[in-house]
Amino acid sequence: MKIHIDIDCFFVSAARINDPSLERKPVAIGGRSDTKIFSKDAKKQTVNFENSGSFVPTFYKTYEKSDDDLNAFRDADGRVRGILTTSSYEARAYGVKTAMSIREALTLCPQLIIKAPNMTLYQKLSHELHEFLQTKIPLVEQASIDEFFGDLSGWVDDEDVPRFIDDLRHEIKKVTKLPVSIGAAKTRYIAKLATSHAKPFGSRVVYAHEMDSFIDKIPVGEFAGIGKSMKEKLSSVQIHTLGDLKNRRGTVESWGPYAKELYARVTGQSDEEIQTKHLRKSIGISRTFDPLYDRSELRRRVHVLARHLSFAILKLKVIPTVFHLGIAYEMKQKSHKNITLCEVFTEKKFDSLCQSLFNEADIHKRLHAIRISINCSSFTRESKRELSLIGFNDEQKMQRLTKYSQDIREKYGIDVLKWGSEL
């Protein structure tokens, strides 16, 4: 059997380990992009390559400790900005939800305690749990900072799984102080679904003969992989539950390969092996800001984002070959530009490339921009593309300069060296 382990309200649980007085109180963790990344003052940032993703940024700065963490989300004019990355079950009772604005959450629950994120602590606790699970289960896959998959096949008999996972969640709580919920099933997808029905701090096993009754009344939106557009498409043909979906195989599979695979996952016919090690396939950086029209300032911000992303790429020791830059404007307008380039990576070339991509992508010049994103993918360690040798000697000289800059930033921070155009 496969099992899925999910830390309950992870960021809040971590805050409670640090401060037990938060127990049984409505608590939420705020989140906000580091808009001060564009400040001309130097500051030291941290780069995280482990488990970055939704609400877990690759680049982050540690908020200064304060008696009132809400101050971390106040602008100079006193406005509270930012969204919630997670909230405790006590807060959810008031209608507080993930991704809700902090201001709206405080309106619903005035006594809500807002805490600033502590990414260093989250990574530490996540790593400790991963190490502990490896002593209990032969194959463990870390899917994100707060969830894991395991394979019990040949390790625990199916009839013993309920007792095993129940004991495991209590043992995890005792050793790491983290409350977890655990689901078990024939496939990882159904195990994950079982976990959501075991929360909080519970365990649930779904045997093969229980599949139909288990999924019958579950709304389609609860299944991982069914997003907003797919949910709307299913709803348009009166498919509202996973039971409905199971009974409409012909309709669903007629929508193409993705829908066909989705049907197989929902019905327990498709599974994936446990991957104990994941290679990063892409890396990106983006920032949302107040509407900005000044193109020279926008280009300066591209310089800043490119410098940060270049630092991360060099730290990963990869050479990307596909580059993407996107711009979001007011009035819901968007634009983007891609390019494939198989050459040695240097910071200067990357910076120039990003400026060029921005100039080409900026097609709504009368509109204010509100977001810039840069993404790099198709690293040469996985790609079959060959690097161009044109100008290779000159590139090697620039590579040496890039390495010297990287060494200095590793020691003193990403902002210690900047492009003159940033100032």
Claim to verify: residue 39 and residue 171 sit in the same structural domain:
no
Q: Are 99 and 84 in contact (CB under 8 A)?
A: yes
Residues 185 and 246 in one domain: yes
Which domain-ending residue is among 121, 143, 176?
121
DSSP state of 406: H
Q: Any idea what the Cα angle at residue 420 is, between residues 416 and 423, rounded to 5°?
A: 80
Write down the pLDDT at residue 391: 53
**DSSP single-letter state for residue 80:** B
Q: What is the pLDDT along the chain (423 residues), one digit of tens a residue?
A: 999 999 999 999 999 999 999 999 999 998 766 656 777 665 566 666 666 555 566 665 555 554 458 887 887 778 888 889 999 999 999 999 998 999 999 999 999 999 988 888 998 999 999 999 999 998 999 999 999 999 999 899 999 999 999 999 999 999 999 999 999 999 999 999 999 999 999 999 999 999 999 999 999 999 999 999 999 999 999 999 999 999 999 999 999 999 999 999 999 999 999 988 777 788 898 888 989 999 999 999 999 999 989 988 988 888 999 999 999 999 999 999 999 988 888 899 999 999 999 999 999 999 999 999 999 998 885 444 555 555 555 666 666 777 777 778 777 777 777 777 776
143 and 252 housed in the same domain: yes
Q: Render 152-187 in DSSP notation, one character per residue.
A: -TTTS-GGGHHHHHHHHHHHHHHHH---EEEEEESS
Flag whether 21 is in a domain.
Answer: yes
Q: What is the DSSP letter of 417?
A: S
Helices (H), 99-221: 102-108, 119-134, 161-176, 188-196, 211-215
- Could you say which of 231, 266, 301 is where a domain stops? 266
- Sequence-distant (≥ 6) Cβ neighbours of residue 45 within 8 angstroms: 34, 37, 59, 60, 61, 308, 413, 414, 415
Q: What is the pLDDT of residue 57?
A: 62
Do 255 and 289 sit in the same domain of this protein? no
pLDDT of residue 423: 67
Same domain? For 169 and 246 the reply is yes
Write the CATH number for 79: 3.40.1170.60
Same-domain check for residues 53 and 163: no
- φ, ψ of residue 37 to 5 degrees: the values are -60, -25
Residues 380 and 411 in one domain: yes
How many domains does the chain divide into? 3
Name the residue with tokens 């050793």.
Answer: 175
Confirm whether 272 is domain-assigned: no
User: Residue 338 in 3-state DSSP?
Assistant: strand
Angle at 232 between CA 228 and CA 237, to 5 degrees: 155
Looking at the fold, whether 126 and 262 belong to one and the same domain comes out as yes
The predicted pLDDT at position 163 comes to 97
Beta strand 203-205 with 180-185: parallel, antiparallel or unpaired?
parallel
Listed residues 121, 148, 183: the one ending a domain? 121
Q: Are residues 67 and 106 in the same domain?
A: yes
The verdict on residue 87 lying in a domain is yes
Considering the domain architecture, whether residues 111 and 130 belong to the same structural domain is answered as no
pTM of the shown model:
0.76
Judge if 105 and 165 occupy the same domain.
no
Domain assignment of residue 197, yes or no: yes
What DSSP character marks residue 254?
A: T
Domain of 91? 2-121
